[in-house]
């Protein structure tokens, strides 16, 4: 019996430490999401009313996941300390839901990665074609250090001292980097949540077994 109790205490402390790390991870995810949303370069490129919003959808999912992770991590710590099967079961269910949402968001981002880039490229190209799009194109040229596309380089926008890099390639590189950050953060979250679900179920089983022995 003492071995069972000793093992249960060990798992309880491990779960508490995990939940604290999970809470910190949620804070990090939230911070990364807010940085991607309010990053000056990204905001300048996509803050117009008619700009594509697919990128920000993925960022909002990341911000929501970070906030929920912080809340779930807090209740997970409380459940581990109280040795409550109900709280631990709820913690497991919450992790499972977040894990499912992460997978869905990852699939959404993977399937729409090219569409996000293409939409932004089309948005830039359409801005070049309209007379009142000079402010938008100038912002792209300044942020991405590019001018024109592979097939079009208007002399009134791309002067002699403009950068020679075409904006289609610059847009692709810029948003791929941002999307990779979202992807890496999502993979890290998924791995952490799997460990948390295993710990919570082990502790639940240990609590139930100890009470049956008593």
Q: What is the pLDDT of residues 139-166, one digit of tens each?
A: 888 888 888 887 777 776 776 555 567 8
pLDDT beyond 70 at 6: no
The range of the structural domain enclosing residue 58 comes to: 2-213
Cβ–Cβ < 8 Å for 63, 73: no
What tens digit of pLDDT does each residue of 167-191 get? 888 999 988 888 787 777 777 777 7
Mean pLDDT of 123-135: 76
Which pTM was predicted?
Answer: 0.70
Helix axes 54-82, 2-38, angle to 10 degrees: 160
For tokens 């089309």, the residue is 122
In the chain, how many domains are there? 1
Concatenate the DSSP letters of all residues of 155-182 into one string. Answer: TTTS-TTS--S-HHHHHHHHHHHHHHHH
């Amino acid at each position: 019996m003492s071995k069972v109790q000793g093992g249960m205490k060990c798992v309880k402390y491990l779960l508490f430490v995990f939940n604290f790390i999970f809470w910190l991870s949620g804070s990090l995810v939230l911070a990364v999401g807010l940085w991607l949303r309010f990053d000056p370069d990204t905001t300048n490129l996509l803050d117009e009313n008619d700009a594509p919003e697919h990128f920000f959808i993925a960022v909002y999912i990341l911000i929501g996941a970070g906030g929920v992770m912080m809340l779930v991590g807090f209740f997970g710590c409380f459940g581990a300390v109280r040795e409550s099967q109900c709280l631990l079961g709820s913690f497991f269910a919450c992790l499972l839901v977040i894990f499912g949402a992460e997978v869905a968001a990852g699939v959404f981002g993977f399937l729409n990665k090219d569409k996000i880039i293409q939409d932004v490229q089309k948005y830039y190209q359409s801005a070049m074609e309209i007379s009142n799009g000079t402010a938008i194109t100038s912002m792209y040229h300044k942020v991405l250090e590019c001018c024109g596309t592979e097939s079009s380089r208007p002399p009134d926008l791309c002067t002699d001292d403009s950068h020679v890099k075409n904006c289609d390639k610059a847009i692709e590189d810029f948003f791929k980097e941002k999307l990779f950050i979202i992807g890496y953060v999502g993979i890290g979250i998924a791995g952490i949540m799997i460990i948390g679900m295993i710990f919570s179920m082990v502790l639940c089983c240990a609590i139930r077994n100890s009470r049956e022995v008593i």
